[in-house]
Amino acid sequence: MTGEKTAEWAERAVREAEAEFASGTVTEAGTAPEPGSSPSREEQVLERIERARRRRPKIKETQITLAHGAGGKATQTLVEALFLEAFRNPALESLDDGALLELGSARLALTTDSYVVSPLFFPGGDIGDLAVNGTVNDLAMCGARPLHLSAGFILEEGFPVADLRRIAASMAAAASRAGVAVVTGDTKVVERGKADGCYINTAGVGLLERPITLGAAEVRPGDAILVSGPIGEHGVTIMLARGELEIEADLTSDTAPLIGPAAALLDALPAGVRLLRDATRGGVATILNEVARAAGAAVMVDEAAVPVRSEVTGACELLGIDPLYVACEGRFVAVVDGDHAEHALKTLQADPLGEGAAVIGHVQDEPPGLVLARTAFGGTRVIDTLVGDPLPRIC
């Protein structure tokens, strides 16, 4: 990467950061330039990016919008400016998939998630197995062995009992496949028109059996980035299942428990795995931006190496969506020591749920905090954090 190109990409990031600042979604709490210094043009640009990043998030909107649940910048602002400020504690501050807790001699992971997908039933799954798999995967991404789940149901008056029975059966099958038990729960019914049939909240607890620490803060330059399989299938499947678009494709959701490939990777590289993260809402792009921001490093993705089925690519082109932003429910991103990338890849590919795994990029020193993609035409583009919500209610 030349200094000229770095400055060009950084200039673009600054323009976006300044536009965000001008829109009022963030307020400045940055620092002034060092007096007496004469930084180069590139250093000045990177310094402005860093100042933009240090601005304290502030919610400008007076009402919640769909963007606040999209997993992108609006969600990040909501979580950091409202929930983190209200509940701040050491376990929460990492903002990982689950909280890591020590109870006596036991190390546990605790997580929770809610599911509002529409439609409730879709090719490859339904809201029931989605809820179980999603919570199990959050625990697996913490490096934990999932043990027990809770299930809370919010049902709309008039919801068919046959559909609820089908959902419960699906949850039971998913729990059995993942080796977990649903041990407690809750049921609420709201008036007709006050919900959309059925919402589910699940929480899970798992046991941390390995002396490891995973997280974006562990990532360092030289690390390799892998995905466990083709991306974007869940999000596109849900969109097509709504029948609102005249698009047909032979696609099913990738919803699945990721305990097997995650455990295999941790066992194969006991000291070489930096981060595991399932690529749900916001997709792979959101995870990579979190990594770059937390690690203070750059992420370079080889666009041609990202596995995407042709059906997903075609649908995304028609919808004007980048597959890197589309949610998966059975794929994860792994950041591993770059010296062991090939071993990690073979380990994932040996598992049926990871046979489509690929190394898609690397972590590098500069430009810090940015995610860049090397395109098939030899150019480079910035992959920023998702702003809006291209596919609402997909999980």
- Closest C-alpha to 361, from 309, 307, 299: 299
Tokens of 189: 């019914």
Q: What is the DSSP string of 72-121?
A: SHHHHHHIIIIIHHHH--HHHHT--SSEEEEETTEEEEEEEEEE--SSSE
The residue-averaged pLDDT of 219-232 equals: 97
212 vs 22 pLDDT, higher one: 212
Furthest CA-CA distance within the chain: 74
Q: Where are the beta strands (DSSP E) in 128-287?
A: 145-156, 181-190, 198-207, 224-227, 273-278
- Which residue's entry shows tokens 């998030």? 57
Q: What are 78-85's contacts with CB under 8 Å, separation 24+?
A: 81/56, 81/57
Q: Is the dihedral of CA 283, 289, 295, 298 positive or negative?
A: positive
Residue 16 burial by CB count (10 A; 0-12/13-18/19+): exposed, middle or buried? Answer: middle
pLDDT digits (tens, 9 = 90+) for 351-382: 999 999 999 999 999 999 999 999 988 899 99
pLDDT digits (tens, 9 = 90+) for 295-347: 899 999 999 999 999 999 999 998 889 999 999 999 999 999 999 999 999 99
- Gap between the Cα atoms of 214 and 216, Å rounded: 7
| pLDDT of amino acid 28 | 40
Provide the percentage of residues in the chain whose pLDDT is more than 90. 70
28 vs 367 pLDDT, higher one: 367
Query: Is pLDDT at 9 greater than 60 in this prediction?
Result: no
- Gap between the Cα atoms of 49 and 72, Å rounded: 19
| pLDDT of amino acid 1 | 46
Residue 344 CB neighbour total at 10 angstroms: 24
Question: How far, in Å, are 12, 157, 211, 297, 364 from residue 370 at the CA level?
Answer: 11, 48, 31, 7, 10
Q: Is the dihedral of CA 278, 64, 167, 391 positive or negative?
A: negative
| pLDDT of amino acid 44 | 67
Residue 373 CB neighbour total at 10 angstroms: 23
- Which residue's entry shows tokens 């601005």? 55
Three-state secondary structure call for residue 202: strand
Q: What is the DSSP string of 32-54?
A: PPPTT----HHHHHHHHHHHHHH
- Closest C-alpha to 357, from 380, 374, 378, 336: 336
> Beta strand 273-278 with 145-156: parallel, antiparallel or unpaired?
unpaired
The residue-averaged pLDDT of 141-167 equals: 98
pTM for the whole thing? Answer: 0.85
11 vs 131 pLDDT, higher one: 131
Cα dihedral 334/335/339/345 (nearest 10): 10
Q: Please answer whether residues 359 and 305 qualify as being in contact, where contact means their C-beta atoms are separated by less than 8 angstroms.
A: yes
- Gap between the Cα atoms of 320 and 125, Å rounded: 25
48 vs 4 pLDDT, higher one: 48
> Beta strand 273-278 with 371-374: parallel, antiparallel or unpaired?
unpaired
